[in-house]
């Protein structure tokens, strides 16, 4: 089994795909063979998978063993409505065997498998399963991507507490964007006072790879 790393976030549009791509490149530079899946993507229409297409393209650049994969191998389940899977599927069932199959297919040729969630931890997949439960179902460690704007203390802590309540091993990364300049002044002091380290996307990505691999 490859090292499975489930990339989740405090919400949608925070930077899961961005950080997943950084990790794929950084793990490759370190000599690992990478794989990637996005088990469920919504907002897929006319054959365009906003995340799946990007991840597949990058995967083929980084790992030649993935040459024959198609986007449906990266994204085994997709829906057109850009909504939580439970809503996008009109309260349907998720076929978890398809997700297991996609994982197995790539684990035949990768050492590290990045798995990008949809939205945040409490996004409903079906009537019983939330995104956070899928992390356990696929036996992965988690990377929580958080934003850096005012409010990130609350958002990060809520997600961290949820992960801890389900005994999921995780690391946290701050994905600061250009307009997040206040982070060091208004939010980072809290994390520096209470956590051992703050990892920032891009600048700390190499260290983060090592931390994640050992979770």
- Name the site residues for ligand GTP (rule: CB under 6 A): 9, 12-18, 51, 119, 175, 177-178, 201
Choose among Mg ion, ligand GTP, none what residue 175 binds, the Cβ cut-off being 5 to 8 Å by kind: ligand GTP
Alpha-carbon span 104 to 99, nearest angstrom:
9
Which of Mg ion, ligand GTP, none does residue 9 bind to, with CB < 5 to 8 Å depending on kind? Answer: ligand GTP
* Nearest of 114, 161, 152 to residue 8 by alpha carbon: 114
**Total number of residues binding Mg ion (CB under 5 A)?**
3
> Which one of 16, 38, 60, 181 is the catalytic residue?
38
Q: Which of 26, 32, 42, 51 binds Mg ion (CB under 5 A)?
A: 51
Residue 29: active-site member: no
3-state helix, strand and coil shares in percent for the chain, rounded to the nearest 5: 40, 20, 40
Cβ atoms of residues 38 and 51 within 8 Å: yes
Q: In this complex, which beta carbon is closest to ligand GTP, that of residue 64 or of residue 151? A: 151
The answer to whether 7 touches 143, Cβ cutoff 8 Å, is: yes
Which residues, listed in sequence order, are joined to residue 8 by a DSSP beta bridge? 144
User: With respect to Mg ion, which residue has the nearer C-beta, 17 or 106?
Assistant: 17
Residues with a catalytic annotation lie at 38
Provide the binding-site residues for Mg ion, judged by CB under 5 A.
Answer: 16-17, 51
């Amino acid at each position: 089994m490859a090292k499975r790393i489930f990339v989740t976030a405090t919400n949608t549009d925070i930077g899961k795909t961005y950080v997943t791509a950084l990790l794929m490149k950084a793990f490759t530079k370190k000599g690992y063979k990478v794989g990637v899946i996005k088990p469920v993507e919504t907002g897929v229409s006319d054959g365009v998978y906003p995340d799946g297409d990007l991840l597949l393209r990058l995967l083929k650049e980084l790992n030649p063993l993935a040459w024959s994969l198609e986007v449906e191998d990266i994204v085994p389940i997709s829906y057109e409505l850009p909504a939580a899977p439970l809503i996008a599927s009109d309260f349907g069932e998720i076929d978890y065997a398809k997700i297991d199959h996609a994982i197995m297919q790539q684990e035949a040729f990768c050492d590290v498998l990045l798995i990008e969630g949809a939205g945040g931890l409490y996004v409903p997949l079906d009537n019983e399963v939330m995104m956070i439960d899928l992390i356990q179902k696929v036996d992965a460690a988690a990377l929580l991507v958080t934003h850096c704007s005012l409010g990130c203390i609350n958002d990060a802590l809520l997600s961290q507490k949820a992960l801890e309540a389900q005994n999921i091993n995780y690391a946290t990364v701050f994905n600061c964007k250009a307009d997040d300049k206040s982070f060091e002044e208004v939010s980072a002091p809290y994390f520096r006072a209470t956590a051992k380290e703050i990892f920032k996307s891009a600048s700390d990505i190499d260290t983060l790879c090592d931390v994640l691999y050992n979770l």
